């Protein structure tokens, strides 16, 4: 075909699909291979930290008499991350990745230590903010490296790297809750926060060594303005929502204001037309944001509900979190090996995912109402996780894969969109929901929890309609 008549995007796509993929040895020895490995390590560490923080959250809130601060803690670590996700590329073109990783890892370790020594919830939140700044190193690196992978890897290898990220979450889902619940039950939640630090520091040091001589500005596409204002507004919006208590008369006005800030930021950072559900990859980004918002909110509710409503032990909470993570990541691995390339297959999978979402949420709802027993909570969350595995990776693949006809979305925009869409909705809806269901120091209230789970199930019925436009 004529590359001039096809256009540059379609021509690049045809070149990548026509040429054979690189050998494994060549890939691992290349600059892009190093970056792909770094992304996989980032995914593993992120998964471990997520499961650890979720497991210990109800334990520390109970000890500090601050169960009404679930929303505040949920938002604290995410505020710095929202500063760096839109700025990831700009940060990594101004500072060496290895130096940035080292400095922010120091912040991460400092935040973990502050949280472990915290005498009250305010000091713990300060530690979470510091820790979130350290995690931002991983977030910034992931944003930039996604751009390099989208630009430089053949389609088959790019899908393999995305599926490999799901594989890291399989490991994290198995190891994270077991570690967190085991150490918390034996030594206490404070030791659970710090016992893994030597491994984390070693892993970050290896990662910094891998990217020491790499410059990520080669993947830049144009001289786009750095979105300082949208990044600040996004972080501010999440911070406003997290700072409010559900018992405050300012709660819902604050939620409205914070949400408006985040939506405005998304409209500036994401490709134009995303929030208007423009057909194609733009509505694909909106689909990813919607699904992640609702399923991550369901995820944030598991540990507080298990502890406060069902009186589950740390080990039982760990089983619940593991079930959801395994369901999500194992099914995502299978879908990564057999991607839904055809629109009909993608729509079919997303419709099936919605059925699993609703069934999982229904099982969780019956459990918190006292029937039939605590063990149904892990089953329900595991079923919901299967739904996420059915649609999450395929939706990401549709976003980062060039369409046959150019749609004006650059590789850098696609990479940033995947990162932000996967986190922004969950940060807003998850923070609001965790604060709403626990309005007082007594913790999660059943009368607020079960209607919330039903509303989440209703929201998870929408993805098939969005997927139809994305396909």
Q: Residue 18's pLDDT is what?
A: 42
In this prediction, residues 88-115 reach a mean pLDDT of 75
Task: Provide, rounded to the nearest whole percent, the portion of the chain with pLDDT above 70.
Answer: 77
Q: Residue 298's pLDDT is what?
A: 93
Per-residue pLDDT band for 4 (boundaries 50, 70, 90) equals: very low
Task: Provide, rounded to the nearest whole percent, the portion of the chain with pLDDT above 90.
Answer: 34
Per-residue pLDDT band for 450 (boundaries 50, 70, 90) equals: very high
Per-residue pLDDT band for 433 (boundaries 50, 70, 90) equals: very high
Q: Residue 34's pLDDT is what?
A: 63
- With 50 as the cut, is the pLDDT of residue 16 above it? no
Distance CA 91, CA 96 (A): 9
Supply the mean pLDDT for the chain: 81
- With 90 as the cut, is the pLDDT of residue 227 above it? no
- With 90 as the cut, is the pLDDT of residue 456 above it? yes
2 burial via Cβ count (<10 Å: 0-12, 13-18, 19+): exposed
Please give the residue that has the higher pLDDT: either 409 or 212. Answer: 409
Q: Residue 178's pLDDT is what?
A: 84
Q: Residue 99's pLDDT is what?
A: 73
- With 90 as the cut, is the pLDDT of residue 262 above it? yes
Q: Residue 8's pLDDT is what?
A: 43
In this prediction, residues 59-87 reach a mean pLDDT of 83
- 373 contacts: CB under 8 Å, gap ≥ 6: 367
- With 60 as the cut, is the pLDDT of residue 255 above it? yes
- With 90 as the cut, is the pLDDT of residue 87 above it? no
User: What are 131-188's pLDDT values in tens digits?
Assistant: 887 665 555 555 555 555 555 556 666 666 666 766 777 788 888 888 888 898 889 9
Please give the residue that has the higher pLDDT: either 64 or 12. Answer: 64
User: What are 377-426's pLDDT values in tens digits?
Assistant: 999 999 999 999 999 989 988 888 878 788 888 877 887 788 888 888 88
Q: Residue 307's pLDDT is what?
A: 92
**Phi, psi at residue 221, to the nearest 5°?**
-125, 90
Q: Residue 141's pLDDT is what?
A: 56
User: What are 306-336's pLDDT values in tens digits?
Assistant: 999 999 988 888 889 889 888 988 898 888 7
User: What are 345-385's pLDDT values in tens digits?
Assistant: 999 999 999 999 999 999 999 999 887 788 899 999 999 99
In this prediction, residues 261-282 reach a mean pLDDT of 90
Q: Residue 2's pLDDT is what?
A: 38
Per-residue pLDDT band for 119 (boundaries 50, 70, 90) equals: very high
């Amino acid at each position: 075909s004529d590359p001039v008549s096809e256009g540059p995007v379609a021509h690049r796509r045809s070149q990548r699909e026509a040429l054979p993929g690189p050998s494994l040895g060549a890939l691992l020895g290349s600059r892009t291979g190093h970056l792909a490995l770094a992304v996989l390590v980032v995914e593993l560490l992120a998964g471990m930290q997520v499961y650890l923080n979720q497991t210990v959250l109800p334990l520390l809130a109970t000890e500090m008499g601050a169960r009404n601060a679930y929303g505040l803690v949920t938002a604290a670590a995410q505020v710095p991350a929202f500063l760096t996700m839109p700025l990831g590329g700009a940060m990594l073109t101004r500072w060496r990745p290895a130096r940035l990783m080292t400095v922010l890892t120091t912040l991460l370790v400092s935040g973990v230590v502050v949280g472990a020594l915290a005498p009250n919830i305010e000091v713990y939140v300060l530690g979470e903010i510091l820790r979130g700044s350290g995690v931002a190193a991983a977030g910034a690196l992931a944003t930039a490296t996604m751009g390099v992978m989208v630009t430089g890897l053949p389609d088959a290898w790019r899908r393999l790297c995305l599926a490999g990220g799901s594989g890291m979450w399989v490991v994290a889902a198995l190891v994270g809750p077991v570690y967190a619940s085991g150490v918390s039950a034996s030594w206490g939640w404070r030791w659970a926060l710090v016992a893994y630090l030597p491994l984390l520091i070693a892993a970050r040091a290896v990662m910094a060594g891998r990217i020491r001589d790499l410059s990520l500005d080669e993947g830049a596409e144009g001289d786009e303005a750095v979105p300082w204002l949208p990044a600040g507004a996004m972080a501010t919006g999440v911070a406003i929502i997290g700072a409010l208590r559900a018992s405050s008369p300012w709660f819902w006005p604050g939620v409205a204001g914070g949400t408006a800030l985040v939506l405005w930021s998304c409209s500036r950072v994401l490709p134009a037309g995303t929030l208007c559900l423009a057909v194609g990859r733009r509505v694909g980004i909106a689909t990813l944001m919607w699904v992640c918002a609702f399923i991550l909110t369901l995820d944030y509710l598991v540990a507080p509900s298990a502890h406060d409503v069902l009186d589950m032990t740390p080990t039982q909470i760990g089983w619940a979190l593991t079930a959801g993570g395994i369901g999500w990541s194992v099914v995502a691995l299978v879908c990564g090996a057999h991607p839904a390339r055809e629109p009909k297959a993608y729509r079919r999978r997303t419709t099936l995912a919605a059925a699993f979402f609703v069934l999982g949420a229904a099982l969780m709802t019956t459990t918190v109402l006292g029937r039939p027993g605590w063990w149904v909570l892990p089953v329900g969350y595991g079923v919901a996780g299967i739904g996420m595995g059915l649609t999450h990776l395929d939706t990401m693949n549709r976003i980062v894969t060039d369409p046959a006809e150019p749609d004006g979305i650059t590789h850098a925009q696609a990479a940033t969109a995947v990162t932000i869409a996967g986190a922004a909705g969950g940060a807003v809806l998850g923070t609001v929901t965790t604060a709403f269901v626990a309005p007082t120091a007594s913790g999660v209230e059943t009368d607020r929890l079960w209607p919330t789970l039903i509303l989440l199930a209703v929201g998870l019925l929408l993805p098939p309609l969005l997927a139809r436009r994305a396909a």
